[in-house]
A = this chain, B = another copy of it.
Amino acid sequence: MSGAGRPRASSQPMLEEAASELFLEQGYAKTTIEQIAQRAGVSRNTFFNYFGSKSDLLWVELDASRSALEMALVAIPDDLDPLEGVEHALRQTARGFGAARAPLVLTQWEVMGVDDELRATGLARALAHADAIETYLAPRLTGADAGFRARAIALAVLGAAAAAVGRWAAAGPRRESLESYLERVVHPVLTGFATPPIR
């Protein structure tokens, strides 16, 4: 399958590890790509073979959760109510995050000085999640403005989920499961949209 070609000398995880160290040592802003590449033993350009941008390093885990969410969405049984389906898929995805090991970026964002960067680059990620929910939801809703409602539900649910993830990460190593935080805020949103539109 992998045919000819020079084998990869440095792996993605090595760059991630080097970056995490440097971010913790001296903060995100003061760490240059040059330094990350150097610690990983590769050239600056090679970094860009593995990551499209510096901020991509912050979102590795979350990007993985999007794949998990997409898989959970297609696995929803057809006879389930669409809104319950979304809740089901979200809980399923949340189970992938063990209570003990929250992503480093979420727990150490203060020492990394990374909050500005998270704000600056987070929306693209969030919208990717929302798009996944929306594409699941849109064809399964009825009514004239199903597309509009699907997008609104997707974005609203995602907002609630973001709050849950933030709370979960902030709760420290003895935190409850992400799932329990999630259900407390996702469920209300979905029940609000459960009844067909009145007007």
Contacts and interface: CB of A to CB of B under 8 A. Distances in A.
B152 A164 contact: yes
A192 interface: yes
Contact of A121 (B120, B145, B157, B197): B120
Contact of A156 (B145, B151, B185, B197): B185
A163 B159 CA distance: 12
12 contacts: A119-B127, A122-B123, A123-B123, A148-B184, A151-B167, A155-B162, A156-B160, A156-B185, A159-B160, A184-B197, A189-B189, A190-B192
Contacts of A15: none
A152 B159 contact: yes
Interface string A10-47: 00000000000000000000000000000000000000
A185 B152 contact: yes
Interface string A146-158: 0011011111111
B148 A163 contact: yes
B123 A189 contact: no
